[in-house]
Amino acid sequence: MKKMLLCSLSVLGLLTLAACGNSSADSQKDDVKEIGVLQLVEHDSLDQSYEGFVDGLAEEGFVDGENIKINYQNAQNNQDNLRSMTENLIKEDPDLLLGITTAAAQSLATMTSDIPIVVTSVTDLKTAKLVDNYKKPGGNVTGTSNLSPVKKQIELLLSIVPDAKKIGMIYNSGEINSQVQIDIAKEVLDEKGVDYEIKTVTSTNDVQQVAEKVAASCDGIYVPTDNTMASAATITGDVVKEAKVPLVYGAVSETKLGGLASYGVNYHDLGVQTGKMAAKILNGEAEPADIPVEHAKNLEFYVNPEMAEALGIDPNSIKKPE
C-alpha cells in the first residue's frame, strides 16, 4: 500500500512538472509577435527596404526567430499573387503587417482596418489613400515615404548636360508613385525652359524598345523610383551606354546597375526607420493612427564610375546638388 502511494505521488509530481513545462512553453509562444510582410516585386531597392526593416526591429529588441516571427511574401509583380498573399497573411491574424510599395500597401489596407500596418517605399501615402494626412494618419496605416528630391535630381542631370535641348523621362504609367515624381520633374523642366519627351512602359518587356527610342532623341534621361524600371535597370543601362546618353535615376541602387548618377533615398536606412516605427506599435507605445508618416532622413549621392568611363565623362566633374 505504501509503495502504491509513493508511486501515485511520483506520477502526480511528474504530471505537475509536465504541466508547468507546457505552461511555460505556451507562455513563451504567446510572447512571440507575428509579422506578415508583403513585397510587390524583387529588386535591389525593395530588398534593401526589407533588410533595413528587419535591422530596425532588431535595434529595438525584436529579433526574428526569437521574440518575433516574420512571414515574408513576395508577389513577383503579379496581381493575382498580391491578392492571394494578402488574404493568406490576414487570415493568420498577425500582430503587424508590412507593405513594401504602394500596390502592396493598398492591397493590405483594403482588406483589413483592424490589424496595424506599416508601409515603406511608398511615394505619396495620401494620394494612395493610405492615410488621412501625414502628421496624424488617422487609421490603421502609417510608415515611410520614399519620395526622392526630384528637383535636385533634375538639376543634377542638367549639370551633366548643361546644353540639353530635350530630356527624356521613362516610367510605368500604372504606378502612382512614378506619376507623382514625373509631375514634379515636368514642373522643374518647364521652369528651366528645357523641352522633354515622356514615354511609358507597362512591363519590363517594353523597356528596351522604349529606352532605345528615348536615347535616340534626347540629350539626357531621367527615370524616377519606379518598380518596373528598377527591375530592368541593367537593360536600360546597356541602352544608354551604347547610345552615350547620361541617365539619372531616382534611386542609387538602380544607378549602380545602369545609371550615371543619383541623389536619392538610401533604402536600407529607410527600412530601418520603418522598423523602428513598427517597434513602437509592437511595444504598445503608439497606434498607427497617431504615428506621423516619415520621409527619408538620409539621402545618398552616388556616381557610377564604370558608366562615367563608358560615356567619356570625368566622374569627379559630377557634383552633389546643393
pLDDT, one tens digit per residue, over 210-264 is 999 999 999 999 999 999 999 999 999 999 999 999 999 999 999 999 999 999 9
CATH code for the structural domain at 150-264+301-317: 3.40.50.2300
Cell of 70: 516574420
Give CA–CA dist 147/163, Å, rounded: 28
pLDDT in tens, 16-30: 444 445 444 444 446
Q: Could you tell me if 77 and 232 are in contact, meaning their C-beta atoms sit under 8 angstroms apart?
A: no
Supply the pLDDT for residue 298: 87
Cα dihedral sign for 167, 168, 172, 174? positive
CA distances from residue 295 to 33, 41, 149, 299 in whole angstroms, order as listed: 26, 22, 11, 10
Give CA–CA dist 95/97, Å, rounded: 7
How do the domains of the chain map onto residue ranges?
33-147+266-298, 150-264+301-317
Residue at 83: amino acid letter: R
Close Cβ partners of 17 (under 8 Å, ≥ 6 residues apart): none
For domain 33-147+266-298, the CATH superfamily is Response regulator (3.40.50.2300)
Same fold, 33-147+266-298 and 150-264+301-317: yes
Q: CA angle, 134 as apex, 133 and 138 as ends, to 5°?
A: 55
Residues of the chain with pLDDT below 50 are: 1-20, 22-29
Residue whose C-alpha cell is 513577383:
76
Supply the pLDDT for residue 31: 85
User: How many other CB atoms are there within 10 angstroms of residue 97's CB atom?
Assistant: 29
176: β partners: none
